[in-house]
Chain A
Amino acid sequence: MGILNNALPDIAPVRAVDAAVGWGRGSSLWPMTFGIACCAIEMMAVYAATFDLDRFGAGVPRATPRQSDLIIVPGTVNAKMAVRVRRLWDQMAEPRYVIAMGACVCGGGPYVKWGYNTVKGVHKIIPVDIFVPGCPPRPEALMDGILKLRENVTREAVFARREATARILDARGG
């Protein structure tokens, strides 16, 4: 939100506006259409009718990073893909959130020792908000991750100056 972001005093009216903005952001997390490996199959199941991510306002996968708030990284990130992941994340507009889905993305997974071209965790390239471990995670686990993220986003201070939020925004590269 530009120059007002995190710049106003932490008083009741500002908090009220923050609550409204946070509610809006948290209730319309639009993920990017993005899949790398087998975890993407589970992610597709989450979008589909059985689990129906649209119940939480996150069922609108966007075809471009410029329209999306959330990038779910589902699958092994190798040296070639890491450049693309980073570029996609760079193209996303603030506020942007990252979910690392699966063992490979959380820390290398089965490739942690002998994976010569595997990035041992996507947090080494982009800042991650939520880690969802599993190989691959059940759809329920990813949904839980998205709900946890939604909780964080809803509680985030947007205008009010609060050190914890400033630190998170800073870490996110915002």
Chain B
Amino acid sequence: MNEQQLHAKLLASGLPGIGELDTSARDPFVRVDAGSIVAVLTFLRDDHDCRMEMLHNLTAVERPDAIELVYHVCSLARHHALTVKLSCPRPDGGNHDTWIPEVPSVAGVYSAANWHEREQWDLLGVRFAGHPDHRRILLPEEWIGHPLRKDYVYPTWHDGIPLELDAIPLYEPGGGQAAAEAAAASAAGAAGAAAKAPRKAGEPLFQPPAPLSTRPLAPGGKTTDTPASELGSH
């Protein structure tokens, strides 16, 4: 069957919330209401003529006015495929911090949807009601935010791991600004006390080693770089 016939079949099924077929796209798609997505996919899977036994993709798109979920289902037995979309309209002022859209989970219809839905939750922040294992799948469980949202704010550190390019100054031959700052700090006698202070909540678990040029050899040792000629050989 082609997409028009599949769409006619869906309309004939009497299920509520089935929209028009859009054939302007390369993959024609059917818009459905969020409330009927589970019934629609169950019908497409179980109907003898449809036999869409495979969900080969479940993804989401953030648009200015909505987050759109896209379900690609296909039938290996009948050699046809259909794209189903549903839209979660953005409320006024709904942004990354205030708006988490919620749609019914289809993990009960297609097992493949389990991980796909976890991925959409992880990266785009769509909640799936009734999901059996609603956790992040890629990022650490304690990650804050959903990185593929347009208004996501990039983190500088995560649990002691530097994530920004400039989180730690790079090694500068000959000292540079970092060495000057370290020298000033040690002159003030504050560096040692600061290093031994107990870790406070939210502080990094470990600090990566300072650049070579900022590390003194020994108490009172010189911090300048040794010329390559002095490295010598035996």
Residues of A within 8 A of B (CB): 15-16, 18-19, 22, 79-80, 82-83, 86, 107-108, 112, 116-120, 123-127, 155, 163-164, 166-168, 170-173
Q: B209 an interface residue at 8 Å Cβ cutoff?
A: yes
> CB-defined interface of B152-169 with A at 8 Å, one 1/0 digit per residue?
101100110111110110
Q: B132 an interface residue at 8 Å Cβ cutoff?
A: no
Residues of B within 8 A of A (CB): 139-140, 143, 147, 152, 154-155, 158-159, 161-165, 167-168, 170-171, 206, 208-209, 212, 215, 217-218, 221-222, 226, 230-234
Contact check: which of A19, A116, A168 meets B163 at CB < 8 Å?
A116
Instruction: Let me know if A119 and B212 touch, CB within 8 A.
Output: no
Given contacts A120-B163, A126-B209, A167-B226, 14 further A-B contacts (CB under 8 A): A18-B234, A82-B161, A83-B159, A83-B161, A107-B165, A116-B155, A117-B139, A123-B170, A123-B171, A124-B168, A124-B208, A126-B208, A127-B209, A155-B231
Q: Which of A107, A166, A171 has the most CB of B within 10 A?
A: A171
Instruction: Let me know if A22 and B234 touch, CB within 8 A.
Output: yes
Task: Pick 21 A–B contacts, CB within 8 A, sort by A.
Answer: A22-B234, A79-B158, A83-B159, A108-B165, A116-B152, A116-B155, A116-B163, A117-B143, A117-B163, A120-B162, A120-B163, A120-B167, A124-B167, A124-B168, A124-B208, A163-B221, A164-B226, A164-B231, A168-B212, A171-B209, A171-B215
Q: Which of A19, A112, A170 has the most CB of B within 10 A?
A: A170
Which chain B residue lies CB-closest to A22? B234
Instruction: Kindly list chain B residues whose C-beta atoms are within 8 Å of the C-beta of A164.
Output: 226, 230-231
Instruction: Kindly list chain B residues whose C-beta atoms are within 8 Å of the C-beta of A108.
Output: 165
Instruction: Kindly list chain A residues whose C-beta atoms are within 8 Å of the C-beta of B221.
Output: 163
- With contacts A19-B234, A79-B139, A126-B208 taken as known, whether A120 is within 8 angstroms of B159 at the C-beta atoms is no
Instruction: Let me know if A79 and B161 touch, CB within 8 A.
Output: yes
Instruction: Let me know if B154 and A120 touch, CB within 8 A.
Output: no
Q: How far is the CB of A147 from chain B (nearest CB, A)?
A: 15
Contact check: which of B147, B208, B226, B231 meets A116 at CB < 8 Å?
B147
Instruction: Kindly list chain A residues whose C-beta atoms are within 8 Å of the C-beta of B147.
Output: 116-117
Q: How far is the CB of A171 from chain B (nearest CB, A)?
A: 5
Which chain A residue lies CB-closest to B216? A170
Instruction: Kindly list chain B residues whose C-beta atoms are within 8 Å of the C-beta of A118.
Output: 163
* Bound Cα distance A172, B152 (Å): 36
- With contacts A164-B231, A167-B217, A170-B217 taken as known, whether A80 is within 8 angstroms of B165 at the C-beta atoms is no
Instruction: Kindly list chain B residues whose C-beta atoms are within 8 Å of the C-beta of A166.
Output: 217-218
Instruction: Kindly list chain B residues whose C-beta atoms are within 8 Å of the C-beta of A167.
Output: 212, 215, 217, 226
Instruction: Let me know if A15 and B215 touch, CB within 8 A.
Output: no
* Bound Cα distance A118, B231 (Å): 34
